[in-house]
Structure 1
């Protein structure tokens, strides 16, 4: 990026991954950047919870995939991830639990994975090799080309390599159909379709392009940053501050002054600031509908109501005063019907009848996550957005989950809990102005891909650009980092006109 002279004042709304990324890139280009964060701590959904009795919980993201995306960000800032945090590769990567004595342990090596597939389904090792080679092509095109497109015009995709590879990218085939073309065993299908959960949609509604996520997880590995995801947030803040970025916490944006199609002033609850441009990395719907309001919003309320959102979640943060022998770092409980739970999230929104859930036990990898001899347990149950929730419902599902977790572990857990906190739809709305209380953002369905997502640009206000999981490229930590980069580049192009 070339330096801008004179320095332009840029306000970044929100200090999650996309906001931190955008701020760092803009400051590196010579902008005078200030980040305004609604909450008392930066990090957005990747904030950390520390308890008085010695537990440390990552409140949101817990899967470190696509390490190359993190490496690129830090390389662009003149450093490496290793300058700030240590990565541990998980082996096994995770367990998929189909029943008490029916567990699929996913190895970290491709040779181990091939052996596992062949043991379950004869001939599937060769099919896995073919599947992952196709997925590697999609990953290389998708991560190096597609996700860096701002999604503002169809002409962005007039790229000879994209055109030549359009059929191999399988944009118009579903992930579910693509997986079932290669594998017949239900456990292997579940293993290969599960990354769609990160994309916020059912596998049959997710383009097969996203088998690139299988490559990301199975070939590039599953990692853990020692100290938790807050270490990445701290590292990104550090490199941003080195570029001159200033951070303001407890500084929710309350409004704008707009003149001549430009925002020239922003208001927080305590202060007023002149600006040349704005990056909106907080909830896109909130900025569009509430801060810009009907006069300047790009979209109508009806447009937003028709968006297919990724799920919300019911989360429990539990401190356990003993070790739990059967749990791994990542544990996926697929001991009920995934299809039934998915329908109750996307098609017939309701509290699930027989939910699937995920358990993360970071103390298996990180001794600092819990006191010695204790466990740090994070439980997440995917949930439909914008349904009514109560403390009674939280408790009801806590016991549903604990019944199955205790049966699997073969021991009492509830009586060993010495810290417990729940987090659900109303908390997502309150803490992040999250549309519908979503936990992940916008679902990556075919009709919500690339130029069909909410735009990075506003049609009526020319100097605000959007980043984050309600615009391109989509939900997840690596996409959020990329989104900040892309939004920053679009803003810089605007400033240089």
Structure 2
């Protein structure tokens, strides 16, 4: 029986483990933390449950594919609920616009604040559907290793059709004229840790996922997805080693000969799949002499995505004006991205995202709102420093929310602040970046680090820093893609 070691039990690592185990591999998963799911981490404070990590779930069919590899149906493991009206956008002038996959309801709202958009909304849906279908066919299933992979006639034609040279902001401006409303669509760039004023319009297809397919929530918390994956893996015989941090990959003759843990244990494997952050873990675990194609200088040439400043706040009351997902926009959205990527500083007037999953599921927070409050943050400095006073910035965020009518301080039952420093330490994230590499540069948007090491024959990569990109469905796809490719080597 062929053996595989998976480093990291994030969604990418879990889907790779399940795929390989279904193909007959004996799989061992090494995870330095005590939970499965990576950034999809459960946090409990008193009786308040929070999901850290992906709060907005799309593409449930991807997760169902993983369960099917274990002979299971997702519906037998968890209840994935579609949110009818999923995101409340509150603009700086107090205007409220709710996102929903009900196009008629969207157009009724648009008639009031953007008549031009109301007239062109169907055209907009048609175009983002086209972008998505092209991506689904030509990009999601593939693993690109070099420019040569883009040179096939069909792929080259597809690439030219997905608006690679237009920015997301410019693209949305074709269909919407209200500048406040455009902010709500521009925010989709943050789903890939990037700026809408720079990243390619290709990624505007993210809007298709929310506004056509819809937004979902796993009852009991989105962490149930990771728990379900773990159960599916164990059904196939996958062995999990939690609290087990990998110290080094021993390389001989351009192959990983063994995986050495910090506790002294060693595992031999025919294949090694790294779900730990490629930018951080690859240089840490493999001596540079064994990876001439990925020296530290190459790693440092990438622009990290944004990170996050997070407050978990359990309240003793419920705010009726909050939906499951809520966004409170700043006055100058463009300035925020200048702060994040050019000035590398925290915005004094940030846009604030709030997930309040107890709006949908009271069981996760019986006594009041469970607010996951997130503000986009710059990546850590190269020296690993946090460029803000965490306590003062938390109070600044509370000030902004309370000025908008949300009572926080007097209703607090519990709270916890999570900064990019903790994100870097807990998840091994390079400079605390949430999504690996930003898509602000055309090269990085389309030619991310390969899923396969160019220097080590049996080492593969899955997760947000490689293809097809960041976000829970994409990293899950990366795991399946790599698992299937590795298994095919042995079938052939």
When the two structures are superposed, what TM-score results if normalisation uses the length of structure 2?
0.94
Q: CA deviation at 1:289?
A: 0.8
- Choose the corresponding residue for 2:403, options 403, 407, 417: 407
Q: Shift of residue 154 of structure 1?
A: 4.0
Q: Where do 5+ consecutive residues of structure 1 fail to align?
A: 1-6
In structure 2, the residue matched to 1:3 is none
Q: Does the CA-based 8 Å contact 1:285-1:435 persist in structure 2? A: yes
Structure 1 residue 160 displacement after superposition: 5.8
Contact map agreement 2:256 2:456 (CA 8 A) in 1? yes
The alpha carbon displacement at 1:13 in A equals: 0.2
Deviations 1:347-378 (A, max 9, x none): 11012222112111111111111133x11111
Compared with structure 1, are the counterparts of its residues 358 and 140 closer, same or farther at alpha carbon in structure 2 (3 Å cutoff)?
same
Q: Which residue of the other structure, out of 171, 177, 199, is the alignment partner of 1:184?
A: 177
CA distance in 2, matches of 1:429, 1:50: 20
Partner residue in 2 for 1:482:
477
Q: Any conservation in 2 of the 1:327–1:409 contact (CA below 8 Å)?
A: no
Of 63, 72, 78, the residue aligned with 1:79 is 72
**Structure 2 residue ranges without an equivalent (≥5):** none
The alpha-carbon distance between structure 1 residues 305 and 155, as it changes in their structure 2 partners (threshold 3 A), is closer
Secondary structure in 1 aligned to 2:161?
helix
Aligned to 2:432: 437
| 1:331 aligns with one of 322, 326, 332 | 326
**Once superposed, what is the RMSD of the aligned Cα atoms?**
1.9
Matched, 1:447 2:440: no
Instruction: Find the counterpart in structure 2 of residue 4 from structure 1.
Output: none
Aligned position for 2:21 = 27
CA drift of 1:449 comes to: 2.9
CA distance in 2: counterparts of 1:377 and 1:153, whole angstroms: 43
Please give the alpha-carbon distance, in whole angstroms, between the structure 1 residues aligned to 2:457 and 2:101. 47
Distance 1:263 1:163, change over 3 A: closer
Tell me which of 10, 26, 33 is aligned to 1:39: 33
Stretch of structure 1 that moved more, 247-256 or 383-392: 383-392
Corresponding position of 1:256: 249
Matched with 2:379 is: 385
Question: What's the counterpart of residue 393 of structure 2?
Answer: 397
Distance in 2, Cα, partners of 1:385 & 1:233 = 26
Distance 1:45 1:214, change over 3 A: same
CA distance in 1, matches of 2:129, 2:156: 17
Instruction: After TM superposition, give the deviation of residue 398 of structure 1 in Å.
Output: 1.0
Measured against aligned partners, the alpha-carbon deviations of 1:285-321 in whole angstroms (never above 9, x if no partner) come to 2222110021123322222222122111111111111
What CA distance in whole angstroms lies between the structure 1 residues aligned with 2:468 and 2:352?
26
Return the alpha-carbon distance in structure 2 between the equivalents of residues 208 and 83 of structure 1.
37
Q: Aligned-pair distance for 1:163?
A: 4.6
1:16 to 2:5 alignment? no
Is the CA contact (8 Å cut-off) linking 2:12 and 2:477 kept in structure 1? yes
- Contact 1:37/1:249 (CA < 8 Å) preserved in 2? yes
SS in 2 for 1:45: coil
User: Structure 1 residue 391: deviation in Å?
Assistant: 11
Counterpart contact for 1:313–1:380, Cα < 8 Å? yes
Cα deviation, residue 45, structure 1: 0.4
Query: Deviations 1:108-142 (Å, cap 9, x if unpaired)?
Result: 41111122223222232232211211111221221
Taking the aligned partners of 2:148 and 2:93, their CA distance within structure 1 comes to 52
- Please give the alpha-carbon distance, in whole angstroms, between the structure 2 residues aligned to 1:282 and 1:32: 20
Alignment of 1:87-236 (within 5 A): 87-99=80-92, 101-157=94-150, 161-236=154-229
Give 1:345 deviation, angstroms: 0.8
Asked whether the equivalents of residues 149 and 156 of structure 1 are also in contact (C-alpha less than 8 Å), the reply is: no
1:424 aligns to what?
A: 419
Q: Tell whether the 8 Å contact from 1:276 to 1:463 is kept in structure 2 after alignment.
A: yes
Deviates more, 1:108-117 or 1:77-86: 77-86
Note if contact 1:99-1:408 (Cα within 8 Å) is conserved in structure 2.
no
Q: CA deviation at 1:107?
A: 3.1
How far apart are residue 155 of structure 1 and its match?
A: 4.7
**1 CA distance for matches of 2:285 and 2:465?**
16
Q: 1:127 and 1:162 mapped to 2: Cα distance?
A: 29
Q: Which residue of 2 aligns with 1:343?
A: 338
Give aligned pairs, total.
Answer: 487
1:459 to 2:459 alignment = no
Tell me the residue number matched to 1:284. Answer: 278
d(CA) in 1 for partners of 2:68, 2:151: 29
> Is the CA contact 1:100–1:407 (under 8 Å) kept in the aligned structure 2?
no
Q: Structure 1 residues 289, 432: closer, same or farther in 2, change over 3 A?
A: same
* From 466, 478, 483, the counterpart of 1:471: 466
Q: Does 1:241 align with 2:234?
A: yes
**How far apart in 2 are the matches of 1:160 and 1:126?**
36
CA 161–428 in structure 1, closer or farther in 2 if over 3 Å, else same: same
Distance 1:99 1:325 in 2: 20
With 206-215 and 123-132 compared, the bigger mean Cα shift is at 123-132
Provide the rounded CA distance (Å) in 2 between the counterparts of 1:238 and 1:35: 13
What's the CA shift for 1:409? 2.8
